[in-house]
Amino acid sequence: AQSVTQLGSHVSVSEGALVLLRCNYSSSVPPYLFWYVQYPNQGLQLLLKYTSAATLVKGINGFEAEFKKSETSFHLTKPSAHMSDAAEYFCAVSVASGGSYIPTFGRGTSLIVHP
């Protein structure tokens, strides 16, 4: 069974600083990996996804993530934080199981951006 671990339930950065949100997964087979963002009182929106093509994936709003198989990681980064980036971020993994893929989500990391 796959699992996802997001290190840090809260990450606080200053506006303009680097954003780094950590995600590690466990899977015995090649996974598909995703990052989603959730703004208050809204559903989840896809930021980016890794589906076995390029290991460095670029997403919306300037975010990107790098798939590192040796480290079983898929950390999310953004060079310069903006106030509008404040939200909850979820890492997800999708792995084949019995003919289907079941997406599993991490517990989420709340990004706080200070002026």
Site for another protein in 14-53 (CB under 8 A): 32, 34, 36, 41-46, 49, 51
What is the DSSP annotation of 17-86?
Answer: S-EEEEEEEE-SSPPEEEEEEE-TTS-EEEEEEE-SS-SEEE-GGG-EEEEETTTTEEEEEESS--GGG-
Closer to another protein by Cβ: residue 14 or 42 = 42
Q: Which is nearer to another protein, 3 or 84 (CB)?
A: 3
Q: Would you count residue 7 as binding another protein (CB under 8 A)?
A: no
**Apex CA 45: angle with CA 3 and CA 83, to 5°?**
105
Q: How far is the CB of 31 from another protein (least distance, A)?
A: 9
Cα 14 from Cα 106, distance rounded (Å):
24
Q: Could you say whether residue 108 binds another protein (CB under 8 A)?
A: yes
Residue ranges binding another protein (CB under 8 A): 9, 32, 34, 36, 41-46, 49, 51, 90, 92, 94, 96, 100-108
